[in-house]
Amino acid sequence: MRRRWRGSTGRSPIAEPIALLALAIDAAVGWPERLYARVGHPVGGFARLIGACEARWNVPDRPEWSRRAAGVLTIMLLIAAAAGGAWLLERTARDLLGPYGWIGVALLAAPGLAQRSLDDHVRPVAAALLASDLPGARAAVSRIVGRDTAALDEAGVARAGIESLAESFCDGIAAPLFWLLLLGLPGLWAYKALNTADSLIGHREPRWRAFGWASARIDDLANILPARLGGALLCLAGAGGWRTMLRDARRHASPNAGWTEAAMAGALRVRLTGPVAYDGVSADKPWIGGEYRDPTSKDLLRALRVYRHACLFLWVIAGAIAWVP
C-alpha cells in the first residue's frame, strides 16, 4: 500500500510536504528585490511594532523593573500578533484553496526562510576577495555584519563572512524550519518575530538591557535545539569539525551561535572570532578553532559549499518527517 504524505490538519488525503515545498520555493526565488522594494518584507512589520512599543514604554527615567515588564509585554504582543496572524492566513489559504491549501501555506512559510538570501549576500564577498578587490569585499561584508569593516584585511573579511554564514544558518534557516515542523506556520512566524526583537532590542547596552531582557532570554531558549542541530549538520556537510564544535562552542558569548560557528571552523580548519571592533571599540573575543590558520577567500567559497550541503540535509529531514505515517 502506498504511503501518503501526512497533512497537518488531517482533512485532506493529498500530500502536504509543506516544509519541503517552502524550502524549495525559498531556494528557487527567495524574496525578490523588486518585491522587497515594493512591499518590504514581513519582518518589517515586526520591526515597526517593536519600535512603537520601545518608543512608548522604554522610558529612561522609569525604574528597571517597569522597563523589564514593558519588554515582557512587548514580546507577548509581538508573538501573539505573529502567531495569530499566521494562523488566520493559514485558515484563509485552506478555505480558499481547499485540498490544495497546503501549497498556499508553503508559499506563506517560504519568506520566513533565508537560504537564497544568505547565499546571495555572502557570495559577493567571496567574489570580491577572489578578484583582489579588498575595498569591494569590505563594502559587501559590511552589509551582513555589525563589526567595523573599514580596516579589515583579507583574513578579517573572510572570517566575518564565514561567521555570518554559520550563525545565520541557525537563525535564518534551521531554527525557523524547526519551529515550522513543530508548530506549523504560527510557530515559524512567532520565531521570526522573536528573532527580530532580539536583533533590535536584545542588547546589553544601558538603553536596552532591561527592556530587551525578555527578547534575549526567550530567543536563547528558542534556539537551543536548532543551534545544536545546525552545528551537527554543518559537521556532517563538512565531513568533520565535531571536536572543535564540542570543545569551542561554549567559548562564544552566545549560548547558541557558538555551535554553528565552531562547527564551521572545525569543518574548514580555520580560526574564527578573535579580536574585533564595534563602533571604534575593540572587543577581545576568544578564538574558536584557535589552533588553525586564518581563513582566505577560498575558505569562504568552501564555507558556502558546506552551507549548501547542510541546507540539503534540512531538505532531507523535512521530507522524511512529512513521509512518516
pLDDT at position 14 over 80: no
Query: In this predicted structure, what is the pLDDT of residue 38?
Result: 83
Residue with cell 515582557: 72
- Separation of alpha carbons 311 and 27, rounded Å: 10
Q: Does residue 46 have a pLDDT over 80?
A: yes
Residue listed under C-alpha cell 512567532: 190
The average confidence (pLDDT) of the chain is 92
How far is residue 70's CA from residue 30's CA, in Å, rounded to a whole number?
35
In angstroms, the CA 72 to CA 215 distance is 8
- Please say if the pLDDT value at position 169 is more than 90: yes
Q: What is the pLDDT of residue 11?
A: 40
Asked whether 157 and 149 are in contact (CB, 8 A), the reply is yes
Residue 64's φ and ψ, nearest 5 degrees, are: -60, -40
Distance CA 304, CA 69 (A): 41
pLDDT at 6 exceeding the cut of 60: no
- Encode pLDDT of 54-112 as tens digits: 999 999 889 999 999 999 999 999 999 999 999 999 999 999 999 999 999 999 999 99
Q: Tell me, rounded to whole angstroms, the distance of Cα 308 from its chain centroid.
A: 15
Q: What is the pTM of this model?
A: 0.92
Say if CB 104 and CB 88 are below 8 A apart: no
Tell me how far CA of residue 147 lies from CA of 157, 282, 299, in angstroms. Answer: 10, 10, 20
**What nine digits make up the cell of 142?**
559590511
Q: What is the pLDDT of residues 265-311, one digit of tens each?
A: 999 999 999 988 888 888 889 999 999 999 999 999 999 999 999 99
State pLDDT tens for residues 146-164.
899 999 999 999 999 999 9
- Which helix (H) or strand (E) covers residue 278, if one does? strand 272-278
Gap between the Cα atoms of 211 and 100, Å rounded:
43
Task: Inform me whether the pLDDT recorded for 221 exceeds 50.
Answer: yes
